């Protein structure tokens, strides 16, 4: 569900494999960057604390004795533990335990701490301490140059000093701010984030923030002027701020109205809208647009010259409310706190949306009238992009994402037109936000502003170039049975290269490529495609420098490369990661992590394809999988290993990608001596439109069939105990877990664990659901078939677990309550339930983030050791 019905934002290290910040995160400095209060702290010379030589000698002798004792003690302990094995007997599972005597053919839990060869085991204790999280750095590239040249300027923080540095000039440094706090009217305030103006002369400081929904918050904002070290207070309870490209004005939103603040006038100079209220959102999304459409907290966009501000007006007056009770927010309250949100469920009214453009020079607003450009009852505006200083395009679809309309708005002529309208042809239009402006350049033969977009080409998503804003027939830049991921990343105007990330080598890898805008379909590798890899990249202002991030499958690293042809190419023996360009230096090599892993036994992870058999047309069903084998795996054992399936399976999602991670899956393999399997079945992404669009209008069927097929293959392996195959999922994965148990009826999967599952798609939000299911009015039978309802079939499994947070604003607790009611009516009792008061979809509130994962591990341990009765019906 964009970011929604997919696995929740990782809430503990065991589910938090590292990730590379997105480009939007690079544009706004992260809260971890700590700026200062403009005050230099007097430093006492180090020599003041320098001890005498005698003191140093005594200190080192004592330290040496202590270290020696610790080393010998550790060696003795490790050797002793290496001879121990933790055997927990199976419970009452119908098998004779032979009075506690075990041989190699009897499944036992392993020693939880150490392997037979003396290496440490992976456990929650290690993952929660972030032992295996690689170091990753995000360069916040700046658009400003030094003397008109791209020197690769970026923000960074060193010893509480917030400054600008250059990747090409190691001596260049400009301090913008020092410290962690600011003082205003006698109040000391902690700085949470800083955003520099485009000309770097001023800083926008955020403090006192209060979280709203997933991406939004309210905060107090200040402007710090570097020239005179003055601080200007913009306001409190501000939803968001956005620098104008002119580095003078700031657009901000308060009480759902847009205001314009001038740093020259040091005050708010205009109120752009005045109709904002609890129902009408100007420049910021309501709940469903924040969660499912923009995945961001803002719906306003400055033109490149700062003379116009485009924004959305979202009216949710007709959207129905959903009320969530909160039970444990205030210790002494007798009644729950009731919070209502406008939440459009499938088939119910969506918010109305309109695109407007404000002119800063004459203070007028042009109403784009995009709602008059179509015949649909309800539209979704999914992207807005300036293509030059006075033209922009907007993408909009019908509510089921069947038809994509691209609207061109000319703010100078005050004219709005539909330039192209395209059907999805049996699939759907996925929401993207990566359309890229290609500026006019007469010297390069480009007489108009154009743009690069993502569009299906022969059944796969590829880059296409529209030379003008009104073009209808694009130039196809890439093609083939592979996909460009999300869209273009960067454009080097001088070299005319468009950089992008794609699955050209394999659908479970991500490499970086470029195509010259004048040489379509001639694809050049940027990263080394001879080895498996997943790469992310961000570029400096003119694409001359890049931060290349290798994300797996081996230990990640980061390096700064120069893509300027004047720089010599790396010699072949020095090439690591990048195939072109020159490596300037490594930003991170994660040497500490490499050294640390030498003392651990990490379960072996294999990325591969699996053939699940034939589909209805007689074609092989080839899916991507991950297999994780436990420590000391022995394929000669018979009927021994349990198998733990961990799917997500949502439309256009992907789990089986070759990134580095050591988390919950490895804990299961290490602590339970189990095989962990991840299967990206039909409906998931990056294998072409036909592979994913098969599920449209019929969620839950093909996804479940593929999980069962994969489990059936594993159940026939000699070393697998077919009576101990479990499936676990969260959110859409929780839904898929229950649909799989429902379809399987205990034949293959014996146990299931579902967290925050969807039960009935009528209860989920309209924007996500209708993209894949249409509306209930259009597809009533599909909705009936896709819901989790046949609980007597689910009950054919030995046992299952359900967990949910009562404060879930995404997948409402209503889903699980309806499911429990079905269980009650059917007299089903072979299940367990754990409810987390006031926790949202991520389940973190009041230590829930620890308990939920402990429960999953402990419950699975009980299942695999036979501690559950065979059936409680």
pLDDT band at 19 (very low <50, low <70, confident <90, very high): very low
Q: Which of 29-33, 166-170, 345-349, 863-867 has the lowest mean pLDDT?
A: 29-33
By C-alpha distance, which of 785, 822, 826 is closest to 802? 822
* Residue 65 to residue 410: CA distance in whole angstroms: 78
Rounded Cα distance, 163 and 33, in Å: 10
The neighbour count for residue 613, using CB atoms within 10 Å, is 11
Under the banding of pLDDT at 50, 70 and 90, the label for residue 144 is low
Q: What is the spatial distance between Cα 658 and Cα 627, in angstroms, rounded to a whole number?
A: 12
Rounded distance between C-alpha atoms, residue 561 and residue 567, angstroms: 10
Q: SS3 for 439?
A: coil
- Give the closest residue to 29 by CA, choosing from 237, 192, 248, 217: 192
Given a cut of 70, whether residue 527 has pLDDT beyond it is: yes
What is the arrangement of strands in the sheet containing 545-552, beginning at the earlier edge strand?
A: 534-539, 545-552, 557-562, 582-588
pLDDT value at residue 378: 86
Q: Lowest mean pLDDT: which of 151-165, 213-227, 658-672?
A: 151-165
- Dihedral class, residue 158 (left if φ above 0, else alpha if ψ from -120 to 50, else beta): beta
- Residue 110 pLDDT: 92
How are beta strands 511-516 and 497-502 bridged, if at all?
antiparallel
Overall average pLDDT of the 503-511 stretch: 97
Which of 139, 190, 188 minimizes the C-alpha distance to 168? 139
**DSSP 8-state symbol, 573:** G
**Sequence-distant (≥ 6) Cβ neighbours of residue 787 within 8 angstroms:** 759, 760, 761, 762
Q: Work out the average pLDDT over 103-130.
A: 86
Helix/strand/coil percent split, the chain, to 5: 20, 35, 45
Distance CA 234, CA 239 (A): 12
Beta bridge partners of 282: 313
Q: What is d(CA 448, CA 467) in angstroms, rounded to the nearest whole number?
A: 7
pTM score: 0.86
841 is catalytic: yes
Dihedral (Cα; 125, 127, 130, 134), 10-degree rounding = 150
Distance, CA of 809 to CA of 324 (rounded, Å): 8
Q: How many CB atoms lie within 10 A of CB 180?
A: 14
Q: Which of 126, 462, 804, 841 is catalytic?
A: 841
SS3 48: helix
Give the pLDDT confidence score for residue 187 in this predicted structure: 86
Predicted pLDDT at 724: 97
Q: Indicate the pLDDT class of residue 28, thresholds 50, 70 and 90.
A: very low
Q: Which residues contact 542 (CB under 8 A, 6 or more apart)?
A: 145, 150, 492, 493, 494
Q: Supply the mean pLDDT for the chain.
A: 86
- Which tops the pLDDT comparison, 26 or 711? 711
**H/E segment holding residue 622:** strand 620-629
DSSP letter at 331 equals T
Task: Tell me: pLDDT of 795 over 50.
Answer: yes
Consecutive H or E run containing 287? helix 287-288
Q: Can you tell me the mean pLDDT for 192-219?
A: 90
Average pLDDT over residues 438-460: 94
Mean pLDDT, range 809-816, rounded to an integer: 97
Predicted local distance difference test score (pLDDT) of residue 565: 82
Residue 399 half-sphere exposure, CB side, CA atoms within 13 Å? 25
- Check residues 34 and 254 and name the one with the higher pLDDT: 254
Residue 71 or 683, more confident: 683
DSSP string, 680-730: E-TT-SSS-HHHHHTTTT-TTSHHHHHHHHHHHHHHTSTTEEEEEEEEEEE
pLDDT confidence of 569, banded at 50, 70, 90?
A: low
Question: For residue 269, what pLDDT band results from cuts at 50, 70 and 90?
Answer: very high
703 or 161: which leads in pLDDT: 703
Other beta carbons less than 10 A from residue 522's beta carbon:
11
Whether residue 10 has pLDDT greater than 80 = no
Which helix (H) or strand (E) segment is 364 a member of? strand 364-367
Paired tokens of 796:
């054919």
* Cβ neighbours of residue 546 closer than 8 Å, sequence gap 6 or more: 537, 538, 539, 540, 560, 561, 563, 581
Distance CA 695, CA 428 (A): 11
Contact (CB, 8 A) for 643 and 725: yes
pLDDT at 148 over 80: no
Query: pLDDT by residue (tens digit) across 753-779?
Result: 999 999 999 999 999 999 999 999 999
Secondary structure element (H or E) that encloses residue 822, with its range: helix 814-826
Q: Using only C-alpha atoms, what is the Rg of the chain?
A: 29
Name the pLDDT band for 241 (thresholds 50, 70, 90). Answer: very high
- Beta-carbon contacts of 77 under 8 Å, excluding residues fewer than 6 positions away, are none
The CA distances from residue 156 to 31, 315, 408, 548, 829, in Å, are: 12, 40, 38, 17, 56
Q: Given this model, what pLDDT does residue 8 score?
A: 40
* 151-156 long-range Cβ contacts below 8 angstroms, 24+ apart: 152/540, 152/544, 152/545, 152/560, 153/540, 153/541, 154/540, 155/29, 155/33, 155/196, 156/33
For every residue of 239-274, which 3-state class applies, written as one string?
A: EEEEECCCCCEEEEEECCEEEEEECCCCEEEEECCC
Question: Is the model's pLDDT at 376 over the cut of 90?
Answer: no
Six token digits for residue 411: 């703010």
Compute CA distances 57 → 50, 51, 71, 142, whole Å. Answer: 13, 10, 21, 50
pLDDT higher than threshold 50 for residue 86: no
Share above pLDDT 90 across residues of the chain, in percent, rounded to a whole number? 71
Q: How confident is the model at residue 448 (pLDDT cuts 50, 70, 90)?
A: very high
Reading the block at residue 445, the tokens are: 């033969």
Q: What is the pLDDT of residues 453-505, one digit of tens each?
A: 999 999 999 999 999 999 999 999 999 999 999 999 999 999 999 999 999 99
Give the pLDDT score at 465.
97
pLDDT at 732 over 90: yes
β-pairing, 831-836 vs 799-805, is parallel
Q: Where are the alpha helices (DSSP H) in 587-701?
A: 591-597, 664-672, 689-693
Domain boundaries, the chain: 52-128, 598-864
At CA 311, angle to CA 208 and CA 343, rounded to 5? Answer: 70
Measured torsion, CA atoms of residues 427, 429, 434, 437, in degrees rounded to the nearest 10 = 110
The average pLDDT across 394-415 equals 94
State the Cα–Cα distance between residues 520 and 30, nearest whole angstrom.
Answer: 37
Whether residue 34 lies in the annotated active site:
no
| More confident position, 711 or 99 | 711
Q: Are 23 and 854 in contact (CB under 8 A)?
A: no
- Select which of 721, 808, 838, 840 is catalytic: 808
Whether the per-residue pLDDT at 747 is higher than 90: the answer is: yes
Q: Which of 207-221, 271-285, 368-382, 703-717 is least confident?
A: 368-382
pLDDT band at 145 (very low <50, low <70, confident <90, very high): low
Q: How many residues does the chain have?
A: 873
pLDDT band at 785 (very low <50, low <70, confident <90, very high): very high
User: What is the spatial distance between Cα 486 and Cα 467, in angstroms, rounded to a whole number?
Assistant: 20
Reading phi first (left if > 0) and then psi (alpha if -120 to 50, else beta), residue 348 is in beta
SS3 assignment, position 447: coil
- Pair of tokens at residue 228: 């005179």
pLDDT at 55: 42
pLDDT of residue 854: 96
> Contact at 8 Å (CB) between 730 and 804?
no
Instruction: Report the topology of domain 598-864.
Output: Rossmann fold (3.40.50)
Query: Among all chains, which residue has been given the structure tokens 């752009």?
Result: 272
Mean pLDDT check: name the lowest of 134-148, 579-593, 726-740, 823-837.
Answer: 134-148
Is there a cis peptide before residue 553, judged by omega within 30 degrees of 0? yes
Question: Which residues are registered as beta bridge partners of 366?
Answer: 357
Cα–chain center distance at 696: 23
In the residue annotation, 731 being an active-site residue is answered as: yes
pLDDT value at 822 more than 90: yes
Q: Are 258 and 251 in contact (CB under 8 A)?
A: yes
Measured CA to CA, the distance from residue 366 to residue 359 in angstroms comes to: 8
Q: What percent of the chain has pLDDT over 70?
A: 86
Q: How far apart are CA 409 and CA 390, in angstroms?
A: 8
What pairs with residue 254 in β-bridges?
A: 238, 257
171 burial type by CB count under 10 A (0-12 exposed, 13-18 middle, 19+ buried):
exposed
Q: What are residue 54's phi and psi, to 5 degrees?
A: -65, -45
Q: Angle formed by the axes of helices 702-715 and 732-744, to 10°?
A: 70
pLDDT at 49 over 50: no
Q: What distance, in Å, lies between the first and last C-alpha atoms of the chain?
A: 35
CA 306 from centroid of its chain's CA atoms: 31
- Lowest mean pLDDT across 112-126, 367-381, 384-398, 691-705: 367-381
Which member of 166, 731, 786, 839 is catalytic? 731
702: pLDDT strictly greater than 90: yes
pLDDT for 2 beyond 80: no
pLDDT at 103 over 80: no
């Amino acid at each position: 569900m964009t970011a929604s019905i997919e696995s929740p934002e990782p809430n503990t290290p065991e589910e938090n494999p590292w990730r590379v910040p997105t480009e939007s995160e690079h544009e706004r400095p992260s809260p971890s960057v700590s700026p200062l209060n403009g005050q230099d702290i007097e430093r006492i010379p180090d020599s003041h604390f320098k001890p005498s030589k005698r003191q140093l000698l005594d200190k080192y002798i004592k330290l040496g004795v202590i270290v020696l004792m610790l080393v010998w003690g550790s060696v003795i302990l490790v050797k002793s533990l290496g001879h121990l094995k933790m055997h927990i007997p199976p419970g009452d599972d119908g098998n004779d335990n032979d009075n506690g005597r075990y041989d190699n053919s009897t499944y036992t839990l392993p020693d939880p701490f150490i392997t037979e060869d003396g290496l440490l085991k992976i456990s929650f204790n290690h993952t929660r301490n972030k032992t295996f999280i690689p170091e990753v750095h995000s360069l916040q590239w700046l658009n400003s140059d030094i003397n008109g040249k791209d020197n690769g300027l970026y923000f960074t923080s060193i010893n509480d000093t917030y400054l600008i540095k250059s990747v090409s000039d190691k001596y260049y440094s400009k301090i913008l701010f020092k410290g962690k706090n600011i003082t205003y009217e006698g109040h000391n305030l902690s700085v949470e984030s800083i955003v520099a103006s485009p000309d770097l002369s001023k800083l926008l400081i955020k403090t006192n923030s209060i979280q709203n929904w997933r991406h939004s918050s309210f905060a107090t904002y200040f402007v710090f002027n570097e020239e005179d070290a003055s601080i200007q207070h913009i306001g409190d309870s501000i939803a968001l701020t956005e620098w104008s490209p002119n580095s003078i004005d700031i657009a901000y939103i308060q009480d759902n109205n847009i205001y314009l603040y001038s740093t020259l006038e040091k005050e708010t100079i205009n109120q752009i809208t005045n109709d904002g209220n609890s129902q009408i959102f100007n420049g910021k999304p309501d709940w469903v647009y924040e969660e499912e459409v923009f995945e961001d907290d803002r719906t306003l966009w400055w033109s490149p010259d700062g003379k116009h501000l485009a924004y959305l007006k979202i009216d949710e007056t007709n959207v129905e409310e959903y009320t969530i009770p909160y039970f444990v927010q205030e210790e002494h309250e007798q009644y729950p706190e009731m919070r209502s949100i406008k939440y459009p469920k499938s088939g119910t009214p969506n918010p109305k949306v309109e695109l407007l453009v404000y002119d800063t020079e004459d203070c007028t607003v042009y109403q784009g009238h995009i709602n008059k450009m179509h015949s649909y009852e309800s539209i979704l505006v999914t992207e807005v992009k300036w293509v030059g200083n006075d033209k922009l395009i907007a993408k909009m679809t019908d509510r089921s994402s069947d038809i994509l309309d691209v609207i061109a708005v000319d703010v100078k002529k005050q004219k709005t037109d539909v330039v192209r309208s395209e059907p999805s042809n049996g699939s759907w239009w996925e929401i993207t936000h990566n359309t890229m402006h290609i500026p006019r350049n007469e010297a390069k033969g480009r007489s108009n502003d154009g743009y690069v977009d993502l569009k299906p080409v022969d059944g796969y998503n590829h880059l296409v170039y529209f030379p003008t804003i009104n073009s209808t027939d694009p130039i196809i830049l890439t093609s083939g049975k592979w996909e460009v991921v999300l869209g273009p990343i960067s454009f080097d105007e001088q070299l005319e290269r468009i950089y992008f990330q794609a699955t050209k080598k394999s659908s479970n890898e991500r490499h970086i490529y470029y195509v010259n805008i004048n040489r379509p379909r001639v694809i050049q590798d940027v990263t080394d495609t001879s080895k498996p890899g997943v790469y992310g990249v961000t570029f400096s202002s003119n694409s001359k420098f890049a931060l290349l991030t290798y994300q797996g499958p081996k230990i990640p690293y980061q390096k700064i490369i120069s893509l300027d042809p004047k720089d010599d190419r790396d010699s072949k023996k020095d090439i690591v990661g990048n195939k072109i360009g020159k490596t300037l230096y490594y930003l991170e090599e994660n040497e500490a992590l490499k050294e640390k892993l030498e003392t651990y036994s990490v379960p072996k992870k294999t990325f591969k394809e699996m053939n699940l058999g034939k589909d209805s047309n007689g074609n092989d069903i080839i899916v991507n999988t991950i297999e994780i084998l436990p420590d000391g795996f022995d394929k000669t054992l018979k009927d021994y290993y349990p198998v733990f399936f961990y799917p997500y399976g949502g439309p256009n999602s992907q789990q089986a990608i070759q990134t580095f991670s050591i988390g919950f899956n490895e804990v299961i393999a290490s602590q339970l001596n189990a095989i962990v399997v991840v299967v990206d079945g039909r409906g998931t992404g990056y294998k072409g439109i036909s592979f994913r669009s098969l599920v449209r209008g019929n969620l839950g069927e093909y996804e479940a069939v593929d999980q069962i097929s994969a489990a059936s293959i594993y159940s026939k392996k000699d070393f697998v105990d077919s009576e101990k195959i479990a499936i676990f999922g969260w959110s859409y994965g929780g839904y898929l877990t229950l649909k799989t148990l429902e379809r399987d009826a205990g034949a293959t999967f014996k146990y299931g664990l579902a967290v925050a599952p969807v039960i009935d798609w009528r209860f989920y939000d309209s924007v996500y659901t209708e993209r894949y299911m249409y509306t209930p009015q259009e597809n009533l039978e599909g909705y009936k078939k896709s819901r989790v309802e046949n609980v007597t079939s689910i009950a054919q499994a030995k046992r299952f677990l359900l967990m949910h947070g009562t404060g879930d604003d995404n997948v409402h607790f209503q889903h699980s309550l309806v499911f429990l009611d079905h269980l009650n009516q059917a007299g089903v009792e072979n299940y367990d339930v754990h409810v987390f008061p006031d926790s949202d979809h991520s389940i973190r509130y009041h230590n829930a983030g620890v308990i939920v994962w402990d429960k999953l591990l402990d419950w699975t341990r009980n299942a695999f050791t036979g501690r559950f009765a065979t059936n409680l019906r």
